[in-house]
């Protein structure tokens, strides 16, 4: 079952995420492009997921996380540590 792509800003922080990122930061423009592309893919995602069962992590959230990982060259969690 596909999870919902909800934004939970206030879950662990008392400061809004929007106030922490400068208005002219390049990630804001990238986020708009990514959100538009993911919106177009939403129906395709719906067809891939079962209608019942435990909700998954939304694929949109996973893809956004992978983009941040690529932009900031964060090593994969599967990396074995040998460089």
Rg (the chain; Cα; Å): 15
pTM of the model: 0.67
CA–CA distance, 59 with 39 (Å, rounded to integer): 11
Measured distance CA(42)–CA(23) in Å, rounded: 27
The Cα–Cα gap between 81 and 20 comes to: 31
pLDDT tens string 60-71: 999 999 998 888
For the chain, which residues make up each domain, given as ranges? 17-71
Q: What is the pLDDT of residue 36?
A: 95
Q: Report the pLDDT value the prediction gives residue 40, as an integer from 0 to 100.
A: 93
Whether pLDDT at 20 is above 70:
yes
Banded pLDDT at 8 (limits 50, 70, 90): low
Q: Report the alpha-carbon distance of residue 1 to residue 19 in Å, rounded.
A: 33
């Amino acid at each position: 079952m596909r999870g919902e792509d909800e934004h939970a800003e206030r879950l662990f922080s008392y400061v809004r995420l929007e106030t922490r990122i400068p208005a002219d930061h390049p990630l804001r423009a990238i986020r708009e492009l990514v959100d538009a592309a993911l919106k177009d893919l939403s129906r395709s995602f719906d067809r891939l997921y079962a209608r019942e069962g435990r909700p998954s992590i939304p694929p949109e959230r996973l893809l956004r996380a992978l983009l941040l990982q690529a932009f900031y060259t964060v090593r994969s969690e599967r990396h074995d540590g040998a460089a």
